Amino acid sequence: MESRKNIKALPYFYVGKKLTDERIARFLKRRYPALCQELGRDDTRSIWYTREHIAQLLEEIDNANGNGIRMHFGVYEEGHRYEGQLCIVSNVTREVTKNGADYNLNVKVEDEPDFIERHALWEEKQAFEDFNFGAPCPPRCDESDDAD
């Protein structure tokens, strides 16, 4: 019998292939056509991130003494190579308690005490655009992004 020592349980947020496929199909059937019709062209169906990008987001949570990441939907600005397309912008969150209730507030990097020093280092490296560096589909699609 094979040892089960090295087998790790699935994460609590696992929903499975069937439910994942159903949710994507529901978006492609109900929301995506309305977006494309309104825009007069195809809009973003998915966004791919590198493992390194995700790892750096996790490091940023630690750096900010945060507790999570909030994903916002946004739209690329005029002049951007994906101008007008849906994007995802990430904010690190930090838990605060006000009047006895806990809230997950967005960390404003510019308001952090080490921002000036970190920004100078960022400029040297030309790192990320507000933690938004994914590859949207379209135009950067692969087989797994093809709409059925």
Please compute the mean of the pLDDT values over residues 96-117 and round it to a whole number. 90
Could you tell me the pLDDT band of residue 116, with boundaries at 50, 70 and 90? Answer: confident
Residue 131 confidence (pLDDT) above 60: no
DSSP the chain: ----TTPPPPPTT--HHHHHHHHHHHHHHHTHHHHHHHHTS----EEE--HHHHHHHHHHHHHTT--EEEEEEEEPPTTSTTTT-EEEEEEEEEEEEETTEEEEEEP-GGGSTTHHHHHHHHHHHT--STT---EEETTS--GGG---
Could you tell me the pLDDT band of residue 140, with boundaries at 50, 70 and 90? Answer: confident
How confident is the model at residue 122, as a pLDDT? 75
Q: Domain-by-domain residue ranges, the chain?
A: 14-43, 45-142
For the chain, what is the mean pLDDT?
86
Tens-digit pLDDT profile for residues 52-78? 989 999 999 999 999 999 999 999 999
Could you tell me the pLDDT band of residue 127, with boundaries at 50, 70 and 90? Answer: very low
Could you tell me the pLDDT band of residue 130, with boundaries at 50, 70 and 90? Answer: very low
How confident is the model at residue 132, as a pLDDT? 55
